[in-house]
A and B are shown apart, each in its own frame.
Chain A
Amino acid sequence: MTDAQPSHIVTSYEQELTRLRAAISEMGGRVEVQLSDAIRAISRRDAALAARCQAADASIDAMEDEIEELTLRMIALRQPVARDLRSILAALRISHDLERMGDYATNVAKRASALIRLPEVGPINGIARMGRLAHLVIKDVLDAYTDNDVERAVNAWRRDEEIDQMYTSLFRELLTYMMEDPRNITPCAHLLFVAKNIERIGDHATNIAETIYFEENGTRLEGLRPKGDTSSFEIQGEEPADPFDLDPPGPEDGSETP
């Protein structure tokens, strides 16, 4: 799948494109670490790691700014067209997605700091498993980006369904814990947000996969992504409707069918 485009006649243009790609890979690497550290902070109850992880977010944000500057300059000075133009736009879009993923991972780390101060309850293992799966999907899309491997990107795109399904089942499990004992509500509410954050990270990873497809083919990835997240419609027990449902069904991801 690796495209063997001949190099530009103008060497410095080629170098800038290479740098841009390297910067995205590097930023992606930082997001991967950010997520795995945040999850580890929860499962190992490691307060120091949680704090370090929160501090690391600034460097991800700074990279987004740098990538934006680089793309702005390239568009202004190189007048890119065709595949080059798509590559530059793709880098810009991916950097925005990565920045959001970094924010979600940082939020997981913040919740880790809170959870560590609470008694250990709830399906920590399930959260860790979901985190590992999200991490794998991120790694796959980033590798696909580095290698221009669209097939791999599309496979990763499909795997987001698994993350969504895990989120739905964690949602149910957490509700059960909360109903069992009201003292579980605080830690479980935090875990619910952790799960939601990881689910959102997965959604941004699929955005990246779609961008990779667009960069390579110049067309949009057709068809709806299979969705496994049904928690938005979830009703516990026999209650007819949930007046506190703050996450009603709706086209929140754009690709969701109500």
Chain B
Amino acid sequence: MNDGTQAVEQALSESSTPKPATETKHVKILNRDVNVFYGEKHALKHVDLDIYEHEVTALIGPSGCGKSTFLRCLNRMNDVIDSCRVAGTIEIDQTDIYTSGLDVVQLRARVGMVFQKPNPFPKSIFDNVAYGPRIHGTAQNKSEVEEIVRTSLERAGLWKEVHDRLDQPGTGLSGGQQQRLCIARAIAVNPEVILMDEPCSALDPIATAKIEELIDELRENYTIVIVTHSMQQAARVSQRTAFFHLGDLVEVDQTDSMFTNPKDSRTQGYITGRFG
């Protein structure tokens, strides 16, 4: 009797979402007093946010709240916008990514990105995935490239569906498959962090469920930050949720706490559909 009892108690305790205790978790990306200005506009204000390794962190909030702006700080995508100025500290594994002389191309290989609309290159499925390893020189020869393409497609859950037509154009796949192809392309360069900017907003519910299942599998090996307009999706896929509003980080907490007992009345109002 006791054995069975313990088994269930264990099962119940295991189900309390984030696997290891937060205290022992490794902070992959440390953000301190991050501010972003577009010209005069103060778009992101004094954001302190820890992003933990092997967790999915979801950024939610109404349009214009700064969540995408914040996401784009993490691989310096904001650099390309002339009027944009980023202040504060962003460290990945204790290294400041805004330090002068840092190789941004290298950074973006470490911090991959998947966008809202699937954007495969107008090339074959194979070449889409092989592109990164080739230009970064991570694969030495043809068989290594093939190996990377296969494992990346497998990890993205796409291998079974495309292994017999790798030479066909990536743009010929369905929307959900194209998005998984983009994820395969992102992981082909062996990144540490994957940023996702509304990766499912152009997909139907089943394709969305497949991507969500994939995200859950990927966090074993990567740290994932996802921006989503769907707070239900944030609830489903993330272990930690950060709520932004008008450029402020209002609240960040474990996702199950956030969606059962948020601390801030603005969070409560937003996630229950009362404002925003």
Task: Enumerate chain A interface residues (CB-CB to B < 8 A).
Answer: 8-13, 15-16, 19, 22-23, 26-27, 29-30, 33, 59, 63, 66-67, 70, 72-73, 76-79
Contacts and interface: CB of A to CB of B under 8 A. Distances in A.
B212 to A, nearest CB: 6
Interface stretch (B59-67, B108-116, B253-261): B253-261
A22 B15 contact: no
B15 A16 contact: yes
A12 B216 CA distance: 8
Nearest to A78: B236
Contacts of A22: 8, 11
Contacts of B1: 29-30, 33
B8 A11 contact: no
A77 B5 contact: no
Interface string B13-39: 001110000000000000000000000
A79 B231 CA distance: 11
Contacts of A19: 11-12, 15
- Please report whether the interface of chain A is mostly helix, strand, loop or mixed according to DSSP: helix
28 contacts: A9-B212, A10-B216, A10-B236, A11-B216, A13-B236, A15-B15, A19-B11, A19-B12, A19-B15, A23-B8, A26-B4, A29-B1, A30-B1, A33-B1, A59-B5, A63-B8, A67-B12, A73-B15, A73-B256, A73-B260, A76-B235, A76-B256, A77-B17, A77-B235, A77-B236, A78-B236, A79-B232, A79-B236
B175 to A, nearest CB: 16
- Please report whether the interface of chain B is mostly helix, strand, loop or mixed according to DSSP: helix
B228 to A, nearest CB: 14
B259 A77 contact: yes
A190 to B, nearest CB: 27
A143 to B, nearest CB: 16
A11 B4 contact: no
Contacts of A33: 1
Contacts of A66: 9, 12
Given A29-B4, A72-B260, A23 B12 contact: yes
A206 B100 CA distance: 72
Nearest to B215: A10
B206 A9 contact: yes
B11 A23 contact: yes
Q: How large is the interface on B (under 10, 10 to 19, 20 to 34, 35 or more residues)?
A: 20 to 34
A9 B213 contact: yes
B15 A10 contact: no
B54 to A, nearest CB: 15
A29 B255 CA distance: 32
Contacts of B212: 9-10
B209 A26 contact: no
A79 B213 contact: no
Contact of B5 (A9, A26, A78, A79): A26
Contacts of B12: 19, 23, 66-67, 70
Given A10-B212, A11-B216, A16-B15, A76 B236 contact: no
A67 B11 CA distance: 11
Interface string B220-233: 00000000000010
A13 B232 CA distance: 14
Contacts of A63: 8
Given A22-B11, A23-B11, A70-B12, A76 B259 contact: yes
B155 interface: no
B76 interface: no
Contacts of B9: 66
In the complex, which of the residues A8, A27, A76 has the most CB atoms of chain B within 10 Å of its own CB atom? Answer: A76
A13 B237 CA distance: 10
